[in-house]
Amino acid sequence: MSRADCRENALERLCTLLGDRCSREAAVREARAGDASWHSGPPPDVVVFPESTEEVSAIAAICHDARMTIIPRGTGTAVEGGVIATSGGVCLDLCRMNRITAIHPQDRDAVVEAGVTRKQLNAALLEQQTGLFFPVDPGADASLGGMAATCASGSAAVGYGTMRDNVLGLTAVLADGRILRTGTRAGKSSAGYDLTRLLVGSEGTLAIITEVTLRLSRLPRAIVAGTCAFEQEDRAVAAVLDVLAAGVRPVRMELLDAVQMAAVNAYSQLGCRESPTLFFELHGGPAAVAEQAEEVERIFSACGGFEVQHATEQAERDRLWQARHDAYFASLALRPGGAGYVTDVCVPVSRLAECVRRAREHLQHTNIPCPLFGHVGDGNFHVVFVIDPHSAAELAEVRGIQARIVADALALDGTCSGEHGIGLGKLDALEQQYGETLSAMRDIRRALDPLGLLNPGKVLRMPE
């Protein structure tokens, strides 16, 4: 059978398996050509909508036989091009795997299919009055499978950790259709290799995550949230370090620069002072939270902060954090028709001030809008360049600046990606970061997917 015949035969088998959940319609394919960033590519050849792990396994086996590539996809809210079908292939859309399989309140865990979104899970936890929530909050209402695949984190990571810390186990399908069940619901385990953490952050290149077992957290008894504006950015960054050094454990600690504050004011009608601003939140018992809030205010004031604006009601807090989480869209609104190119470095907190200072030097000569903001409580920040997606010159300019910001972060003992992953956008950066260590990553990828069928072109360049 010729390669084309073999492919047609496989597509027929997919249609037989899935019926109208296998689509070659242009609109369906084109809706899955990109992600939330400037990255774009050709649409996939076909889109499949499995409803169970067993169906994913059957799809993988069919694709394996025909040497067709598979690009797993959640909500498409990531920004490094990780879901783009660079060489066509089968887009495996997990949105119909959206059942909450089990919630175990006593053990504080939940088992969900990969397409369940974090808001969907939190709504169910609230409705069932469990007193629990899932704390990892990347802003977007992303699918939990996608969040596991990219090791998402977001604003609450400084308090509750990242997906790495909050995924207890996975069900996943290998390129040849084998089904893996990793981890356990036990609180800890030393049983064999930690495939769970290997797959968390592997961006669909080692296996297709179909089910996730998540650690839940207790809803805090008390919450204090607020904002504090500063005249100078470096003083705001210094305040973050002082807060951490004082033993305060913020749950969120975010910096938005003056440009970002203006963008957020315009987009979310926040009415804040348009100068560098820290957003923070504390969780705990009432006494502990009140004590920590006082300490935070004292430190902010000592670092030249203006008066802290408290968000005491839940509705106010929701509005505040929604505005923070919409910062990316607020940035895009600075330039109609623009597309977002986001940097995402993370450094040890002691090096954060230096990294931000150097980034400012790299940014001072560009005319492209480029607000800076991020999860400074764990040393992570972003610059969103709002580029003209049709301008090769702008893309080249931004690539140059990103390369300099990444080089700084690596020189300061940091990482080229705090939370967005590698996708297509950071292939060079990962090579700079890990050098020879990448050879072991390639060995592992080749071992689990010898034909190179899972999300090709992402994370690592694989020699033919």
In the region spanning residues 198 to 227, those forming contacts with a second copy, defined by CB under 8 A, are 198, 200-202, 206-207, 218, 221
Q: Which residues in the 401-420 window bind a second copy by CB under 8 A?
A: 409, 413-420
Phi/psi of residue 198, nearest 5 degrees: -65, -40
Q: Does 443 bind a second copy (CB under 8 A)?
A: yes
| Residues touching a second copy, count (CB under 8 A) | 88
Is there binding between residue 347 and a second copy (CB under 8 A)? yes
- Contact between 40 and a second copy per CB under 8 A: no
Interface of this chain with a second copy, residues 252 to 311, rule: CB under 8 A: 284-285, 287-288, 291
241: phi then psi, degrees, rounded to nearest 5: -65, -40
Among the listed ranges 256-264, 320-328, 357-365, 425-433, the one in contact with a second copy (CB under 8 A) is 425-433
Of 69-77, 153-161, 365-373, 388-396, the window that binds a second copy (rule: CB under 8 A) is 153-161
Q: From the list 53, 69, 143, 150, which residue makes contact with a second copy (rule: CB under 8 A)?
A: 150
Q: How far is the CB of 2 from a second copy (least distance, A)?
A: 31
158 binds a second copy (CB under 8 A): yes
CA torsion angle 158 159 164 167 (round to 10) = -160
Which residues on adjacent β-strands are paired with residue 211?
113, 171
Q: By CB under 8 A, tell whether 156 contacts a second copy.
A: no
**44 or 418: whose CB is closer to a second copy?**
418
Q: Toward a second copy, which CB reaches closer, 65 or 295?
A: 295
CB 414 within 8 A of CB 420: no
Which CB atom, from 436 or from 464, has the smaller least distance to a second copy? Answer: 436
Applying CB under 8 A, which part among 40-48, 274-282, 364-372, 373-381 lies near a second copy? Answer: 373-381
Q: How far is the CB of 180 from a second copy (least distance, A)?
A: 5
Q: Which stretch binds a second copy (CB under 8 A): 35-43, 266-274, 339-347, 364-372?
A: 339-347
Whose Cβ is closer to a second copy: residue 249's or residue 335's?
249
DSSP string, 144-184: HHHHHHHT--BTTHHHH--HHHHEEEEEEE-TTS-EEEEE-
CB 282 within 8 A of CB 251: yes
**β-bridge partners, 345:** 381
Q: Judged by CB under 8 A, which of 190, 269, 364, 367 binds a second copy?
A: 190
Burial class (CB in 10 A: 0-12, 13-18, 19+), 320: buried
**Tokens encoding 456:** 């090709």
Complete DSSP assignment for 356-402: HHHHHHHHTT--S---EEE-GGGTEEEEEEEE-TT-HHHHHHHHHHH
Q: Rule CB under 8 A: say whether 177 interacts with a second copy.
A: no
Q: Is 129 in the site for a second copy (CB under 8 A)?
A: no
Spatial strand order of the sheet with 90-93 comes to 22-23, 46-48, 90-93, 70-73
Binds a second copy (CB under 8 A): choice among 20, 26, 192, 269: 192
Residues of this chain, 106-125, that bind a second copy according to CB under 8 A: 106-107, 109
Residue closer to a second copy, measured from CB, 101 or 391: 101
Check: CB of residue 239 under 8 Å from CB of residue 299. Answer: yes
Give 241-297 as a 3 state SS string.
HHHHHCCCCCCEEEEECHHHHHHHHHHHCCCCCCCCEEEEEEEECHHHHHHHHHHHH
